[in-house]
Structure 1
Amino acid sequence: MKRIEVLDGLRGFALLGILIVNINFFNESLMAISLGGLPVEGSLNETIKTVSALFVEGKFILLFSFLFGYGAVILYSNAEAAKRKFTPMFIRRMLALLFFGVLHGIFIWHGDVLTSYALMGLLLLPFIRRSPKTTLIWSIVFTLLIPLIMTLFMIVGSLSGGSNIENMYTIDPSQIIAFQQEDQQIYGEGTYMEMTAKRINDYIASLLNMILFFPQILGTFLLGAYFAKRKFFEDIYSKKSTFVKLGWVGGFAGIAFTIPRILSDSSNTLLDVGSVFIGAPLLMLSYVSIFSIVFMKYPKSLHFFTYPGKMAFSMYILQSIMCSLVFYSYGLGLFGKLTLWQTTATAFMLFGLQMLLSAFWLRHFKTGPLEYTWRILYRGK
Structure 2
Amino acid sequence: MKQRVSTIDGLRGFSLLGILMANMLIFQYGMFGKDQLTDLMYADHLAYIWLKIFVESSFMPIFMFLFGYSMIMMKGKLDRNGSKVKRHFVRRFLLLILFGLLHSFFIWEGDILFSYGLMGLILLVFLNRKKKTLLIWSIGLLIVTSLMAYGDPNEMIEDETQLNAYVEKANHIYSTGSYSKIYTFRNSDEDPFGWPDYMYVVVLLVAPFITAPMFLLGMYAANKEWFATPKQEKKRYVWFASVFIALGLLLKSIRYLIPDSSWGEVAYTLGSSLLALGYIFGFALLYTTEKLRVQSWFEKVGRLSMTNYLMQSIVCTALFYGYGLGWFGKLGVLVGIGVALVLYVLQIITSHYYLKLFKMGPFERVMRVGTYLSFKGKPKRKKKDNDKVVIEEDPLVSNG
Q: 1:1-381 alignment to 2 at 5 Å?
A: 2=2, 4-33=5-34, 36-151=35-150, 168=155, 178-201=165-188, 212-266=206-260, 269-276=262-269, 278-300=270-292, 301-381=294-374
Once residues 87 and 176 of structure 1 are traced to their aligned partners in structure 2, the CA distance between those partners, rounded to angstroms, is 43
- Work out whether residues 266 and 272 of structure 1, in 8 Å CA contact, stay in contact via their aligned partners in 2: no
1:334 positional shift: 1.2
Computed over aligned residues only, the root mean square deviation of the Cα atoms, in angstroms, reads 2.6
The letter for the 2-side match of 1:239 is E
* Cα deviation 1:219-258 (Å, max 9, x = unaligned): 1111001110011122122221111111121122212211
TM (normalized to structure 1)?
0.89
Aligned equivalents of 2:95, 2:191: Cα separation in 1: 19
Given that 1:38 and 1:177 are in contact with CA atoms closer than 8 Å, whether structure 2 keeps it comes out as no
Distance 1:175 1:344, change over 3 A: farther
- The Cα of 1:377 is off from its aligned counterpart by 2.1
Runs of 5+ consecutive residues of structure 2 not aligned to the other structure: 194-199, 375-400
CA contact under 8 A between 2:13 and 2:300: conserved in structure 1?
yes
TM-score by length of 2: 0.84
1:281 partner letter = S
CA contact (8 A) 1:112 1:203 kept: no
- In the TM superposition, residue 54 of structure 1 has moved relative to its aligned partner by 1.3
Match of 1:160 in 2: none
Contact kept? 1:110, 1:202, Cα under 8 Å: no
Assess if the C-alpha contact under 8 Å between 1:67 and 1:221 holds in 2: yes
Task: After TM superposition, give the deviation of residue 168 of structure 1 in Å.
Answer: 2.6
Q: Deviations over 1:63-89 (max 9, x none)?
A: 010010101001101101111110011
Do the aligned partners of residues 351 and 205 (structure 1) sit closer, same or farther apart at CA in structure 2, a change above 3 Å counting?
Answer: farther
1 CA distance for matches of 2:191 and 2:297?
A: 36
The count of corresponding residues between Structure 1 and Structure 2 is 365
CA distance in 2, matches of 1:105, 1:27: 17
Q: Which amino acid aligns with 1:83?
A: G
Which residue is 2:393 aligned to?
none
The change in CA–CA distance for 1:185 and 1:16 in structure 2 (over 3 A counts) is same
Note if contact 1:325-1:331 (Cα within 8 Å) is conserved in structure 2.
yes
Q: Residue in 1 aligned with 2:382?
A: none
Percent identical among aligned pairs is 33
Cα offset for 1:333?
1.3
Pick closer, same or farther for the CA change 1:171–1:125 going to 2, 3 Å.
Answer: closer
CA contact (8 A) 1:23 1:343 kept: yes
2:359 aligns to what SS in structure 1? coil
Distance 1:125 1:172, change over 3 A: closer
Cα shift readout 1:96-137 (whole Å, capped 9, x = no counterpart): 100000000000000101111111111111212112111111
Q: Which amino acid aligns with 1:195?
A: I
Query: Counterpart of 2:385?
Result: none
Residue segments in structure 1 that go unaligned for 5+ positions in a row? 155-164
Please say which of residues 243-252 and 169-178 is displaced more in the overlay: 169-178
Deviations 1:187-240 (A, max 9, x none): 22222221111112489989x667654213211111001110011122122221
Separation in structure 1 between the aligned mates of residue 233 and residue 190 of structure 2, nearest angstrom: 41
